[in-house]
Amino acid sequence: MSGVVITNKHRAVLACFLLVALIPIVQANTVVFERYDTTATIQGNTILIERDVRIKNSGLTPIIPGEVHFRLYERRGDTKIPIPVTNFRASSEIAGDLTTRVQERRGETDLSVHLWNPLLPNFHYDFTMSYEMEFSPSGILFYEIRLPREETTIPIVNENTQFLLDRRYSVTFAPDGVVQSRTPTGNTIVSWDRTSTERVVEYSRLPFPTIGMRAVNVFWVIIIILLVAVFVLTLRRQRSSGRKPQQQQWQQQQGGYPPQQQYAQQPPYQQRYGPR
Residue 250 has pLDDT above 50, yes or no: no
Residue 13 has pLDDT above 80, yes or no: no
- DSSP for 2-39 reads ------HHHHHHHHHHHHHHHHHHHHHHHEEEEEEEEE
Q: Higher model confidence: residue 255 or residue 68? A: 68
Within a 13 Å sphere around the CA of 223, how many CA atoms are in the beta-carbon half? 6
3-state SS class at 245: coil
Average pLDDT of the segment spanning 158-179 = 83
Torsion over CA: 260, 266, 269, 275 (sign): negative
| 142 and 202 Cβ atoms separated by less than 8 Å | yes
Predicted pLDDT of residue 51: 94
User: What is the C-alpha separation between 38 and 115, in angstroms, rounded?
Assistant: 20
Phi, psi of 259 (to 5 degrees): -55, -40
DSSP 256: S
Question: CA end-to-end span of the chain, whole Å?
Answer: 162
Residue 95 pLDDT level (bands cut at 50, 70, 90): confident
| Closest of 148, 154, 156, 162 to residue 194, by C-alpha | 156
Average pLDDT of the segment spanning 183-198 = 75
Strands 178-180 and 108-115: unpaired
Predicted pLDDT of residue 89: 95
Please name the residues in contact with 207: beta carbons below 8 A apart, sequence gap of 6 or more.
170
Residue 18 has pLDDT above 50, yes or no: no
State the burial class of residue 126 (Cβ atoms within 10 Å of its Cβ: 0-12, 13-18, 19+). Answer: middle
Residue 15 pLDDT level (bands cut at 50, 70, 90): very low
- DSSP for 165-200 reads E-TTSEEEE-TT-EEE---TTS-EEEEEETT-S--E
Q: Higher model confidence: residue 248 or residue 140? A: 140
The pLDDT tens digits of the residues spanning 131-157 come to: 998 877 667 778 888 777 788 888 888
DSSP 138: B
